[in-house]
Amino acid sequence: MTELEIRGLRRRFGGVAAVDGVDLDVPAGAVTALIGPNGAGKTTLFHCVTGLDAADGGTVTLGGRRLSGLPPHARARAGMAWTFQRIELFAGLTVAENVRVGAENRRGRPLAAGLLGLPDRRRGEVRATVSAVLDRLGLTALADAPAGTLPTGTMRLVEVGRAVAAEPSALLLDEPASGLDDDQIARLVRVLRGLAGDGMAVLVVEHDLRFVGAVADSVRVMVGGRIVLSGRPDEVLAAPLVREIYAGEE
């Protein structure tokens, strides 16, 4: 079942059609990967889907609800969570506190409720979510470490944790494997496969093809603002076009 549906999405910057009429279905219960060369329009697409940038045309639908035109916080409340290429953690907060921000931001639970003080039962729920997410990401031992002091790969995992703690129906990750060591990549693959197994719709934009091959159920290739190829990872990653795009990177 398609959880996140993108239809005819367009975004121009002057003469450049950065996203040029993209249709993309991101099904629940699967990991979908979006790959392509630098400048293909992947990040622009991502920003238009999350509402950080305004598309010039097309629609974004989540669980049957049309989100086009809504600001990012409304899309988050509707069940979308994401991380960006640039890490955006609260550096002065601990790992657990960063993840708690995500848990308090769950669907239908605006952040203000967290600031105003949660009723005991909800506070308990938030604590349980934070602890489950830390455990899932292998971050329990670092729960009290200030996020700003961590190596890049670990910070990225904390960001994924914060997004996951919001219990989204669709999770979008822009280059989540960047800066991760091999163990962390293996951990991230397990985490994302587990989330998809629980029914989440996961979309990753990624350059690391080994990671894509290990994590994705299906792969889309974007070139010049359009999706030019899609299929199973083994088929797509072996395609001459993809070999050509990524030549010299392996």
Ligand X SMILES: Nc1ncnc2c1ncn2[C@@H]1O[C@H](COP(=O)(O)OP(=O)(O)OP(=O)(O)O)[C@@H](O)[C@H]1O
Q: Scan residues 6-35 and list those touching ligand X (CB under 6 A).
A: 13, 16, 18
CB atoms within 10 A of CB 90: 14
Q: Give the E-state strand segments of 112-181 in sequence order.
A: 170-174
Q: Give the E-state strand segments of 72-145 in sequence order.
A: 80-83
Query: Which is nearer to ligand X, 71 or 194 (by Cβ)?
Result: 71
Position among 15, 38, 112, 249 found at the interface with ligand X (CB under 6 A) = 38
Query: Which is nearer to ligand X, 16 or 101 (by Cβ)?
Result: 16
Query: Which is nearer to ligand X, 51 or 102 (by Cβ)?
Result: 51
Cα separations in angstroms, 143 against 4, 9, 63, 91, 120: 32, 40, 33, 13, 22
* Shortest distance, position 180 Cβ to ligand X, whole Å: 17
Report the sign of the C-alpha dihedral through residues 150, 181, 106, 79, in that order. Answer: positive
Q: Scan residues 39-68 and list those touching ligand X (CB under 6 A).
A: 39-44
Binding of ligand X at residue 100 (CB under 6 A)?
Answer: no
* Shortest distance, position 61 Cβ to ligand X, whole Å: 21
Q: How many residues does the chain have?
A: 250
Query: Which is nearer to ligand X, 13 or 151 (by Cβ)?
Result: 13
- How does DSSP assign 22-44, residue by residue? EEEEEETTEEEEEE--TTSSHHH
Query: Which is nearer to ligand X, 19 or 166 (by Cβ)?
Result: 19
Which positions touch ligand X (CB under 6 A)?
A: 13, 16, 18, 36, 38-44
